[in-house]
A and B are shown apart, each in its own frame.
Chain A
């Protein structure tokens, strides 16, 4: 498992990194390397140059910015899951991050890297999608905000343009009355999700006022389960939640692989959505 030859550039500034990426469309950003290096070693990816943004200042860290939390792209998973700000203001992000791979990977892998990689089986894309996060891209031309709904284009493909680097993510605070849960279904602790469900639920007077549901590994991109979100609106927490969750797999096109066929994934999406909603809504 030895990568093909590539050039390596440790960028001294964001401008330098953006220039290098703009100049060569086969150049690739390396952040924590936890997704990219396996692809290189399996020779499934042949970038000409790796642009290392690991030493760039200002790309790492979590900040409370009033109505939203800003997570720098280079913030490691371990930092994210331990951040008091994240745990207080957007706990769903912390919950999902804690399920990513294993401690070694979480100390190297980065929040922004996971999103820019765009793997629909990754845990964080569905979470950012469910929370209506905004991804901030930087290039020589300046900053561009990309809503999560427009960021994930296809399998391992984002709407970042050549020369753009994901610099950070804004996660809007949802305010009072919300509950959260990330339900990950996987065969071993270190395995990817067969299906994952990210749920945020606002409950009042015993009923679900609003639900946000993001699905992991149910298509070529992370998906919002809009049908189930609509079906859950106004539903009293109790027996009616399960029938509403039957809509969870609507509009999905789950993959077939060694771990699950599509029909099983559709079934799991319903069961897991029901469980995630129940836990997010604080149901007994």
Chain B
């Protein structure tokens, strides 16, 4: 690609007329095109797999074809003899130094955290677990050599079903048994709420297992100069990773640098300390040469941590008028074979969210984490909250059906009214702000709700083979992972603060350093907008540095829609500190009191006079340091670490209309309206992008994606021919809009938007499918609602649940 290409792309974007040019003076709120994109779109990228180091070699891993087996012999000697092969190792070769992959979230007192060797030594517990590796001069030779490694297995029984796993006498995944943990949270008198309740809805829903599919597969490159180590990884969490790798490998933290170069998406899948990261470090330590690993897509499907996989038993007790009395949730959460970084925490992130936007008198949440011989599960876009939102929003539709009222009416009778905020929910969270009425009203208007209901009635009357269904999801979620105090109470192994720094360069340009680690979110653009407004410097004069522990030395990284809410605020606060320093310097140079200065458009002006100093002039004055006031050091640079008091709670109303072909079972989304309230918006274009992508991922769970293992524990969906990801061609045009109820928990008034679309959309779609078929006696279709499952539901056979 040439510079000319980059220019052309820019022109094409400009000519498309899709993007409104910024208006007004402030940067915050402008639909700025992303600074990152020209480079990313024209291939001027540094993915980990692109990186080269002198003397670099490639490692490939041999992976277990057995779900559960004892390893009785591994012989790598033949592989070592092959051309281009430098070394080959089995798990036993690493046994003394590889440690155990960490779990940072022991959610309960009774939790069992089994040893998790990065490379299996004596037993494998899922298909895909690494059992040996070959290091060669290139991937081709390494791949050939893997076929020469001999491994003998003594098969052990696979444990695939959670109910079976908990049955006494079940084969065990670990010596300690198949229960990872159990926990119960109760609030209010649940017995009383259910006693003599006029209406009880009792349902079981299955959250299928999902495979996060980032555009960029994972890759790792490790190198050492004999003293210090550098690890490049396609990770969301360079800072967390550095700490964890230091603890796991014994490499002292100060001699380990972690770099997340350009990272092509994660969705939680790169919020992990992976076996491959540990093993590449150990290999470079052992061989003294840079070692790279790049996964293939099918290797990734096997071994990227999976998402969801819960069985949800949910019971709701209500009055005859639909007012909710109480809610009982019993979860079985499939941990897979091991507890990885936040595996057990994922269902717990939903523990306080089943009650959602509704008022009730009692709530009980119980969760059991279960070991099976499958790839471990862990965070996947939404992590716990999509599951909770799905269950409650499905049940609210069931409640409406039971009472014969409109599903939106069932919600209205129960939701927190806008004049009731701040509101402390039955699960103990305090929602700071929101306006469910406004978002719902706007969504209904955009959707043409009444007209679609009329068309639905008409199709039902005519017995049209294509039925119309309308699905509702009035969601909220908690995000902005922080505050540290609450994370501590939840027994999470780290804090939730975020760090930001601002460096004022002598020429007046600005470097913003952030502890967040963007991998597609556009932080470089949004943080520039925040700093431009705060400092009064041009947007283009700001650069944002991130993702390298030697540059951005302090951070908690990017996940859980936390970056803007915590990291963006930290940048703002660092800018405020810069201004405080600049004000003192300006007062000195202008020979006035700091209180006489007003800051406007990047300059300190003496009230009532024409005298002023721009922040750029002050940066230069600090640099020359020729004339500094007493006690002022020669820099304006400042740092801030922000830790909020509360989570933030985006909400919104999503409405989905589907056409269900009852002859084939095919579901087609006819229209989709999303009205989200994510508080104040820094960049509407980026918010729009997050909403679109989020909805697509939630629709994907509703209609397309499912990781399927057979009874022996083989993953049947290892390729994209079998694990179906929807593309733009499979999705409708989304109609999006926003209401804006600023968060009161941070000075930007922002709430986070990374996961909202995914959390909201899955129940909207499934509710629509069920709504279309309800007159035919269908009251559930298991996800994903494939044509075959829908058809069988219509037929009244397996695949659908009928009343």
Chain A contacts to B: CB under 8 angstroms: 1-2, 4-5, 38, 41-42, 102, 185, 187-192, 194, 258-261, 264, 267-268, 271-272
Q: Which residues of B contact A187 (CB under 8 A)?
A: 704, 724, 786-787
B726 and A188 form a contact (CB under 8 A):
yes
Closest to B665 in A: A264
The interface size of chain B toward A, counting residues with CB under 8 Å, comes to 30
Minimal beta-carbon separation of B721 from chain A (angstroms): 7
The 7 A-B residue pairs with the shortest CB-CB distance, nearest first, are A189-B729, A2-B143, A1-B296, A188-B730, A271-B663, A264-B788, A188-B724
Minimal beta-carbon separation of B699 from chain A (angstroms): 11
B717 and A271 form a contact (CB under 8 A):
no
Please, how many angstroms separate the alpha-carbon atoms of A264 and B298 in the complex?
Answer: 28
A258 and B708 form a contact (CB under 8 A):
yes
Known: A5-B144, A187-B704. 20 other contacts (CB 8 A): A1-B299, A2-B140, A2-B143, A2-B296, A38-B719, A42-B719, A102-B727, A185-B664, A185-B666, A187-B724, A188-B704, A188-B725, A188-B726, A189-B730, A190-B727, A191-B721, A191-B724, A259-B788, A267-B791, A271-B663
Known contacts: A5-B144, A188-B725, A258-B722. The answer to whether A194 contacts B787 by CB under 8 A is: yes
Interface of B is mostly: loop
Could you show 13 A-B contacts with beta carbons less than 8 Å apart? A1-B297, A2-B296, A185-B664, A185-B666, A187-B786, A188-B704, A188-B727, A191-B721, A194-B787, A258-B708, A258-B722, A264-B791, A271-B664
A189 and B788 form a contact (CB under 8 A):
no
Q: Which residues of A contact B722 (CB under 8 A)?
A: 258
Please, how many angstroms separate the alpha-carbon atoms of A190 and B730 in the complex?
Answer: 9
Q: Which residues of B contact A271 (CB under 8 A)?
A: 663-664
Closest to B296 in A: A1
Q: Which residues of B contact A264 (CB under 8 A)?
A: 788, 791-792
Which of B297, B716, B727, B786 is in CB contact (< 8 Å) with A189? Answer: B727
A2 and B139 form a contact (CB under 8 A):
yes
Q: Which residues of B contact A192 (CB under 8 A)?
A: 721
Please, how many angstroms separate the alpha-carbon atoms of A267 and B721 in the complex?
Answer: 23
Interface of A is mostly: loop
Q: Which residues of B contact A258 (CB under 8 A)?
A: 708, 716-717, 722
A268 and B664 form a contact (CB under 8 A):
yes
Write the B705-735 contact mask toward A (1 if CB under 8 angstroms, else 0): 0001000000011010110111101100000
Minimal beta-carbon separation of A284 from chain B (angstroms): 15
Q: Which residues of B contact A189 (CB under 8 A)?
A: 727, 729-730
Closest to A267 in B: B791
Q: Which residues of B contact A4 (CB under 8 A)?
A: 144, 147
A42 and B716 form a contact (CB under 8 A):
no
Please, how many angstroms separate the alpha-carbon atoms of A259 and B703 in the complex?
Answer: 12
Please, how many angstroms separate the alpha-carbon atoms of A252 and B722 in the complex?
Answer: 23
Please, how many angstroms separate the alpha-carbon atoms of A259 and B730 in the complex?
Answer: 16
Closest to A270 in B: B663
Please, how many angstroms separate the alpha-carbon atoms of A41 and B725 in the complex?
Answer: 20
Please, how many angstroms separate the alpha-carbon atoms of A38 and B140 in the complex?
Answer: 16
Closest to B661 in A: A271
Q: Which residues of A contact B143 (CB under 8 A)?
A: 2
Q: Which residues of B contact A1 (CB under 8 A)?
A: 296-299
Please, how many angstroms separate the alpha-carbon atoms of A189 and B731 in the complex?
Answer: 10
Please, how many angstroms separate the alpha-carbon atoms of A259 and B706 in the complex?
Answer: 11
Please, how many angstroms separate the alpha-carbon atoms of A271 and B663 in the complex?
Answer: 7
Please, how many angstroms separate the alpha-carbon atoms of A268 and B725 in the complex?
Answer: 23
Please, how many angstroms separate the alpha-carbon atoms of A259 and B147 in the complex?
Answer: 31
Q: Which residues of A contact B729 (CB under 8 A)?
A: 188-190
Please, how many angstroms separate the alpha-carbon atoms of A264 and B798 in the complex?
Answer: 12
Q: Which residues of A contact B296 (CB under 8 A)?
A: 1-2, 41
Q: Which residues of A contact B144 (CB under 8 A)?
A: 2, 4-5
Q: Which residues of A contact B786 (CB under 8 A)?
A: 187, 259
User: Which residues 264-278 in B have Cβ within 8 Å of A in the complex?
Assistant: none
Q: Which residues of B contact A268 (CB under 8 A)?
A: 664
Known contacts: A1-B297, A1-B298, A189-B727. The answer to whether A260 contacts B139 by CB under 8 A is: no
